[in-house]
Structure 1
Amino acid sequence: MSTIPSPRTTSAAGPGEVPGSSEADPTDNGARGPGRPGWLLLIVLLGQFMAILDSFVVNVATATIRTELRASGSGLQLVVAGYTISYAVLLITGARLGARHGHRRVFLAGLALFTLASLLCGLADGTGVLIAFRFVQGAGAAVMLPQVLSLIQRTYDGPARARALGLFSAVIASGAAIGMIVGGLLVDADLFGWSWRPVFLVNVPIGLLLLLLGVRLMPRDEPRAGERARGLDLPGLVLLAAAVMCFTVSMVLGEEQGWPLWTWLSFALCAVLAAAFAGYEARLARRGGAPLIAPVVLRAPGVPRAVARLGLTMAMNAGVLLSLSLHLQSGLGFGPLRTGLTFLPTAVAFGAVGLNWRRLPERWHAALPTAGLLLAAVSFAGTGLVLRGGGDGGLWLYAVLLGGGGGLGLAFSPTLGRTLAGVRPEHAADASGLLTTTSQLGLLTGVAVYGAGYLAEAGGGTAVSSAHGVWVTSLALAGTAVAAVGTVLPRRRR
């Protein structure tokens, strides 16, 4: 969730705001072939909304999935994180596929894969099968979503483009809030006695309808010759994917298995693979190739600190969502719908900040991330305090969750917008891809780290033990927010 700047700039954020602007030249009107641009906008935004919703809708179904599939804590974390892992790793490659083979064609291919994976998730009869198809779902989203912004910028210009981008922003901002509520409604309704399965199966009729409409009504486009020449950097993709998997699987399974030797060897291998990835990308750039993440972008002013800040912010966001979802349902006995509505203040505050922070006086903009992180720290500590005794927190819980969402929004959106505004135009697409990928990696790290922390402290799952788990996790989140302030403070000049 985040704001989109004016049509003259490039931005990326959250699960749906992706690096498709490599071909978004402000002087270029893009493809203007025959077709129905109104239908195109409806189709791509509904596809985007469906994919964004699916990254959040599963949070309120976790307790039910855990019970019915007898999922372990680590299995449950992989159900949540699997989607984000494949999405984060394949995102930039998905954007390049669209540039090489046509955004319409690749969007429809990604939509078809996402729809098929949703069906298979809904039919899964075990945790392992569900995890596998969640990975496939994330791959479909990674292929589909980078095309949305590109199609908008190539189809519209002038005031029409501004309106289209405004709707794009609204979908980003509302996806999390609606996802939590829709998930709660579907699980509570227990349609046809299918329990949690409709949170995935609901995508199937919508996806099939969008595919039929897309084939008939979306204007055909052709990739640009210059973009077709860019490589996909498959070795870089393999190295990055292997490093991410080594870290995530070890973090998720390690706590439950008592941190055996293989987990530490896997962490060591992750460090080796990350170093190999960085070295390969640097050599590829020196040879004039097209690395997955251009080293020159990593060295751009402000980018390394923004990478750290965005990663930590999204890790905290994922951590509070997962730990509180489990506590509210397993510890306090909330139903899925009540759980989803509980998170509404967090999602609304995050989205509102993302859409409106630019309205504040410009002289305040540099200080917004610091203020946001400190507000988030206070809110996280407050969440632990109001739930520590085993109660539901009453109205105080909604107040602290509102503050947490606003604080994370202030840390995330201004950082993203200001960093991209300071990147040279020729590096804008790579910077957008890097920051978006960082955000997704932060989400899965938060699920792994804070999820493992909560499960370790929650003990037997009673209201009191679960509240203790939330208290410890909340303190860890607050400490992370305070530590993240160091990524905002200006460095001393010699």
Structure 2
Amino acid sequence: MTETLSKSIAGTTGENTTIPSSAAQPRARKKVKPDSPAGQAPKRPGLILATILVGYFMALLDGSIVNVALPSIHEKLHASGAGLQMVAAGYIIAYAVLLVTGARLGRILGHERLFKAGLAGFTIASLACGMAQNTGELVTFRVIQGVTAAVMLPQVLSLIQQTFQGEARAKAMSAWTAVLASGIVVGQVLGGVLVTANLFGWSWRPVFLVNVPIGVVLWLAAHKTLPSVRPQNSAANNKVDLAGVLTLSPTILALVVPLVLGHDEHWPVWGWIMLAATLPLLGVFLAVERRVAARGSSPILPGRVLRMPGIKPSLILIFLVMVVYAGNLFATAIHLQGALGFSALRTGLAFAPCALTFGLVSYYWRKIPAHLIRRLAVVGLLIAVAAMAAQIPMFKDGGYGGAWFYVDQLVFGLGVGLGNAPTMTLALLNVPVSDAADASGTLATNAQLAQVVGIATLGTLYLSVAPGHAVHAAGHAMAVLSVAAVAVTLVAVGFAHHLHRHDKRQRLMAAAAAATAA
């Protein structure tokens, strides 16, 4: 960061930052056009924020709420292991592939329009998921759900930035971060409650149908309250990077599909061919993006965003953390229900301690003294490493640790929250508001793709080491998974340390420049 981190957190980085402060006013205000919502206080700001964050939360929940419903889906629809993984991952695959495009469409057509359109589509897709009659239909509608979520979710951060000012924006951003952090875990808790309740004898279906009445109410609220924001069209930004979408999509699919289906299909040759094609396809995508940028258009992966200080290591760090987080939750949910015989409710509630600490840390981390904030990511990830290492003796002999498991979940949520939330927020500090949609879309795409990879890799590792659901074999599989998760998180610690050293160098350079100027 260009000044001391304490000043950055306090919001003295100026008008062009995406994370303004509750502690200080910007140093200079730009003139705002009269028709811009940024030039006046929003009407009913609490309702606006509640509407967009509940919509955001609902879509995030659907990335994980289905996890504890998988055994019921397997029983009622006779889904295979690969089918279950596609039910879980199909949503996130579509979401990850199209998220940046959704952000760009919001810039072109208007963020409030895209939010309402995505919310309507998401509600209809949720109804279709709840009425699916077989695995194929459910997977198809889950993909459509992911597409509509990719239209809706990128608009939330842009609406916050364009609607709120000063301290109100800082509070809204903290709420957004907490929702982003806790949505996955709360989804598993709520999924357990809904499956166990077995409303109207519908088994797993309320996991999706619950979105319908909520979605209708939110759409009506959005129609009444969301401010109309004039699209930010320009010669460089008024087009969707179709070439980028068409080359990025097969790249992601080539990586994820064989990881998801490989175990159940006994690792066929086509799967290895697809994996081998991932790197060449990535090269094609990067070449296409360079050509798009050279023509003066705006690529789906904006180079100017990636060149901003600290963005690349932050992306890698967030990716590694979310791989471990999502993969561990997915495998643990299957293990508790499939091998240890937990009910859906008990399984969902098992993750409540993790949700509690993750959400609280993500909302309140800014209150920690600035000189400690710089070290939060390293300390938090080391705490997460300790929590995952503690899982090894808990699971390896076929048990789960009893009360210590819940303590461990509490500590795991604390560590991952400390590692992820500050990194996500600080990565956006030096991003101009004009680039906020692309930057937030890139970060969110990175995090969602990491979840896909986590579910695919760690989920496959668990299923491969634990054939069937024999308790001791499954316990050994969880121990092996925990070792792998520890190793990946230690790599993330290395990137967190690099970010800390980078920030320290930036602060020293800024101090030297200030001294020279004086």
Q: TM-score, normalized by length of structure 2?
A: 0.85
- Corresponding residue for 1:42? 50
SS in 2 for 1:421: coil
CA contact (8 A) 1:83 1:134 kept: yes
Work out whether 1:327 is the aligned partner of 2:335: yes
CA contact (8 A) 1:36 1:218 kept: no
- Corresponding residue for 2:311? 303
Amino acid at match of 1:334: F
Amino acid at match of 2:493: V
Greater displacement, 32-41 / 131-140: 32-41
Greater displacement, 292-301 / 47-56: 292-301
Q: CA deviation at 1:405?
A: 1.6
1:102-251 → structure 2 map (5 Å cutoff):
102-226=110-234, 229-251=237-259
1:54-133 → structure 2 map (5 Å cutoff):
54-133=62-141
How far apart in 2 are the matches of 1:161 and 1:63? 42
Greater displacement, 217-226 / 44-53: 217-226
Q: CA deviation at 1:417?
A: 2.5
How far apart in 2 are the matches of 1:228 and 1:220? 23
Greater displacement, 269-278 / 61-70: 61-70
Aligned match of 2:468 in 445, 460, 468? 460
Q: CA deviation at 1:6?
A: 7.5
Q: CA deviation at 1:213?
A: 3.5
CA contact (8 A) 1:107 1:144 kept: yes
Q: CA deviation at 1:38?
A: 4.7
1:6 to 1:172, Cα distance in 2 relative to 1, 3 A = farther
1:66 to 1:227, Cα distance in 2 relative to 1, 3 A = farther
Aligned match of 2:356 in 348, 357, 378? 348
How far apart in 2 are the matches of 1:471 and 1:27? 58
CA contact (8 A) 1:36 1:219 kept: no
1:228 to 1:123, Cα distance in 2 relative to 1, 3 A = farther
Greater displacement, 428-437 / 80-89: 428-437
Q: CA deviation at 1:227?
A: 8.1
- Corresponding residue for 1:364? 372
How far apart in 2 are the matches of 1:307 and 1:251? 22
Greater displacement, 305-314 / 41-50: 41-50
Deviations 1:225-267 (A, max 9, x none): 4389521101101111111111110111112222221111111
- Corresponding residue for 1:379? 387
How far apart in 2 are the matches of 1:393 and 1:33? 52
- Corresponding residue for 2:456? 448
How far apart in 2 are the matches of 1:35 and 1:219? 8
Q: CA deviation at 1:124?
A: 1.2
Deviations 1:373-426 (A, max 9, x none): 222222112112112222231111112222222222222122222332255666
1:369 to 1:53, Cα distance in 2 relative to 1, 3 A = same
1:394 to 1:229, Cα distance in 2 relative to 1, 3 A = closer
SS in 2 for 1:251: helix
CA contact (8 A) 2:236 2:297 kept: no
1:53 to 1:396, Cα distance in 2 relative to 1, 3 A = same
- Corresponding residue for 2:512? none
Amino acid at match of 2:119: L
Deviations 1:75-111 (A, max 9, x none): 2111111111111111111112112112222111101
CA contact (8 A) 1:37 1:218 kept: no
Amino acid at match of 1:41: L
Q: CA deviation at 1:48?
A: 1.6
Deviations 1:176-219 (A, max 9, x none): 34322221111001111110000001111221222233334444
Q: Which of the two has higher C-alpha Rg? A: 2
The size of the alignment, in residue pairs, is 477
1:440 to 1:196, Cα distance in 2 relative to 1, 3 A = same
Amino acid at match of 2:284: A
Greater displacement, 143-152 / 107-116: 143-152
How far apart in 2 are the matches of 1:76 and 1:5? 42
Amino acid at match of 2:189: I
CA contact (8 A) 2:177 2:421 kept: no
SS in 2 for 1:321: helix
1:456 to 1:434, Cα distance in 2 relative to 1, 3 A = same
Greater displacement, 264-273 / 208-217: 208-217
1:159 to 1:483, Cα distance in 2 relative to 1, 3 A = closer
Amino acid at match of 2:392: G
Structure 1 vs Structure 2 CA RMSD: 2.7
Gaps of 5+ in 2: 1-7, 20-28, 503-518
How far apart in 2 are the matches of 1:64 and 1:39? 36
- Corresponding residue for 1:286? 294
* Identical aligned residues as a percent: 45
How far apart in 1 are the matches of 2:479 and 2:88? 22
How far apart in 1 are the matches of 2:426 and 2:41? 34
1:107 to 1:260, Cα distance in 2 relative to 1, 3 A = same
Q: CA deviation at 1:37?
A: 4.6
Q: CA deviation at 1:148?
A: 2.0
CA contact (8 A) 1:43 1:213 kept: yes
How far apart in 2 are the matches of 1:343 and 1:44? 25
1:28 to 1:174, Cα distance in 2 relative to 1, 3 A = farther
Aligned match of 1:391 in 389, 399, 417? 399
Work out whether 1:404 is the aligned partner of 2:403: no
How far apart in 2 are the matches of 1:40 and 1:356? 22
SS in 2 for 1:258: coil
SS in 1 for 2:64: helix
Work out whether 1:312 is the aligned partner of 2:311: no
How far apart in 1 are the matches of 2:478 and 2:285? 36
Aligned match of 1:419 in 417, 423, 427? 427
CA contact (8 A) 1:312 1:480 kept: yes
SS in 2 for 1:391: coil
Q: TM-score, normalized by length of structure 1?
A: 0.89
How far apart in 2 are the matches of 1:228 and 1:297? 15
Greater displacement, 479-488 / 442-451: 479-488
How far apart in 2 are the matches of 1:199 and 1:254? 27
1:27 to 1:153, Cα distance in 2 relative to 1, 3 A = farther
Q: CA deviation at 1:428?
A: 5.0
